[in-house]
Every structure is written in C-alpha cells, then in structure tokens.
C-alpha cells in the first residue's frame, strides 16, 4: 500500500510532474509509491489553486485552549498556582484540561513562574518627595556623586526561610504592579551592622550589639562619620547620606550636625528610597558571600567575624561602579515619577 497522508512540497511536486507528463493516477501511484487517493487529491489541489505547497492545516492535536480561554487563565491573579489556574479554568468547561496543558499553554503565551521583585510600599506623598529629590539632583554628574558618603544599617541572619512567593509573568513584566511583593522594615535575629562608604574608599563597618537608638547612633556619628568625612573631604565639600530612620532624625543627632555644618552637609534624603542608596547592593554582596561560604557560621560571633571579613574584601571596582550608577538611578526615578525602580 502506498504512502498516505500529507506529503512534503517536494513530493507534491513529483506527483504534479508525473500527472502532467501524462501518467495516469495508477501509473503515478505505482511509480512514486503513494496511494491513488493521495495522487488524486494532490493533483486536484494543484489544478484548483495552481500551487504544489500544502494548503492543509498543520497536523497534530488541536490546541485545547483557544484565545478566549488563554485570556481567562491569568486574569488578575498573578499569584495563583498551577493547580488553582487549572481548577478555575475547568469550571463550566465541557472539556477539562490537566496541569501539564495549563503549563504548556502559559509558556506558549510567554508566561513563566518567577519570584516577584521585593520593593518597598511607597505612598503617594513619598512618591512626590522621591520625584522632588530626583529633579533636584538630575543634573548631578558622577563627579558630584563622588562627594557623597553613603550609610545604612543591615541585619544578617544565621538561618533563612526558603518559603518564597512565585508569580506568573512575562519577561518584560518584572516591574508590573501585579507582579511585585511589597516589603516593610522589620526586625529579626542575627547580627546588625552599620556601615558607610564613598567612591574613594570603604568606610568602617560597626557591629551593633543592641537596638540602635539615638544615643548609640550619636556615638557612631561622632566616632566614625566625623573622622571619615574630615579625612576624605578636608575642604568640607562632602555630603553625608543617611535614611529617615527615627534614630537618625532625633534632636540630639540634628543638633550635632548643626554644630558641624561647617565640616559636612547632610544630604536631604527622600523616604522609602533604598533603590537610590548604592550601599544596599553592598549588603547584597555580603549576603551572597555569606551563603557561598564552605563552612557556614553556627553562632552570632562567627557570623559577625564573617561579615567583617567579607566587607573588608569588597573590591574597589565594585563600590565605585555602584556610585557611578547614581545618574542612571536618578533618571529611573524620574521616568516612573517617583515610583519603584529596578535598582
């Protein structure tokens, strides 16, 4: 029995050529090894449309989810699991689908399961303040940002939770509001440190053995910030950056900076703006290096020693590159009108 089914374009051309040469359907089928039905069908299609390429629909199982069904899959819930999406889709449908079909359909649509970006929840008022800050600094060059000393506190934990939310999103939707998980500042176990740096050098990293209050922060400012600023910026042209934590805004801290305003300037910082502070990326470096240790710390003393060692070994290229990114960070805030950025 000859070959049945659809033929390649080359085979279809052979069929048409044989028939046009005067061979009968039976002779063509015997010569080419195709069934008589196939020879007849291909030649009729050629006579009707004048083409030897296949006009038939592609073979294979028909897609179970049409365009309308695809739109129903994701809807407004980006955090739904594969099981939840499948169950919701099958409600009221005559032909149900399995989770494998759901996964295949979502990937065909361009969706993949990814972890959402964690961003601070920014209020409307604070968006305006972030935008005002970006507009005020939009003409600053890298040379201007070299005069800023960056500071922040961070906490590092001995153990980490593996529970993470996953969402369905397309490749270019990483900052879509429906694909974000907002975070708030919170305390936790582990080792807390305060650090500072500028484009020129890494500054001190100070372990904090208790909750950081105004009195403790005043000691850090007088013992570490003051000598760093006067050494790195002897012409008193340096800016000191700090966020708006309560201890940073205490009256005794404000009074200290007023008394030393001839030596340094405190950069007016917008609230909820970790994406504008390059030191946040240094904390990420420390966190990654901690997780990559062959022997992980088993107590807080070992954890503190490891943090201090990692900080001391951060390369100059690393922190200088972060400062050099400041003009781009400012432009990113302007672009989103004070909202969240990718930084």
Which pLDDT score is estimated for 182?
A: 61
Q: Using CA atoms, how far apart are residues 274 and 117, in angstroms rounded to an integer?
A: 14
Please give the backbone phi and psi of residue 188, each rounded to the nearest 5 degrees, phi first. Answer: 180, 170
Q: Give residue-wise pLDDT tens across range 128-168.
A: 999 999 999 999 999 999 999 999 999 999 876 444 567 77
Question: First and final CA of the chain: distance in angstroms?
Answer: 67
Residues in CB range of 132: below 8 A, 6 or more apart: 270
- The answer to whether the CB of 174 falls within 8 A of the CB of 167 is no
Q: Give residue-wise pLDDT tens across range 206-244.
A: 999 878 999 999 999 999 999 999 999 999 999 999 999
pLDDT at position 289 over 70:
yes
Residue 153, token pair as written in the block: 């506190």
Q: Give residue-wise pLDDT tens across range 39-77.
A: 888 888 888 877 666 555 455 566 778 777 777 777 657
Residue 76, token pair as written in the block: 């407004």
């Amino acid at each position: 029995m000859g070959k049945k089914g659809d033929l390649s374009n080359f085979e279809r051309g052979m069929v048409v050529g044989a028939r046009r040469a005067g061979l009968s359907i039976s002779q063509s089928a015997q010569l080419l090894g195709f069934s008589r039905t196939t020879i007849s069908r291909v030649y009729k299609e050629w006579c009707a449309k004048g083409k030897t390429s296949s006009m038939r629909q592609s073979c294979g199982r028909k897609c179970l989810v049409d365009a309308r069904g695809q739109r129903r899959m994701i809807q407004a819930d980006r955090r739904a699991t594969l099981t939840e999406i499948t169950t919701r889709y099958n409600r009221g449908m005559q032909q149900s689908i399995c989770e494998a079909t759901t996964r295949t359909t979502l990937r065909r649509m361009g969706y993949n399961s990814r972890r959402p970006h964690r961003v601070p929840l920014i209020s409307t008022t604070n968006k305006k303040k972030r935008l005002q800050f970006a507009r005020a600094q939009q003409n600053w060059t890298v040379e201007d940002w070299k005069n800023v000393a960056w500071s922040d506190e961070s906490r590092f934990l001995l153990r980490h939770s593996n529970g993470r939310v996953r969402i369905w999103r397309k490749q270019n939707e990483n900052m879509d509001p429906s694909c974000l998980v907002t975070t708030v500042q919170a305390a936790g176990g582990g080792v807390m440190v305060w650090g500072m740096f500028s484009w020129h050098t890494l500054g001190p990293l100070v372990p904090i053995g208790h909750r950081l209050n105004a009195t403790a922060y005043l000691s850090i400012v007088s013992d570490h910030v003051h000598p760093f600023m006067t050494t790195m910026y002897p012409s008193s042209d340096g800016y000191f950056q700090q966020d708006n934590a309560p201890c940073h805004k205490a009256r005794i801290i404000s009074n200290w900076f007023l008394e030393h305003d001839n030596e340094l300037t405190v950069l007016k910082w917008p609230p909820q703006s970790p994406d504008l502070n390059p030191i946040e990326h240094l904390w990420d470096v420390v966190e990654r290096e901690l997780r990559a240790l062959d022997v992980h710390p088993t107590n807080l003393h070992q954890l503190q020693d490891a943090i201090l060692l990692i900080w001391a070994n951060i390369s100059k290229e690393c922190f200088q590159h972060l400062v050099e990114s400041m003009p781009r960070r400012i432009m990113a805030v302007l672009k989103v009108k004070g909202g969240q950025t990718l930084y």
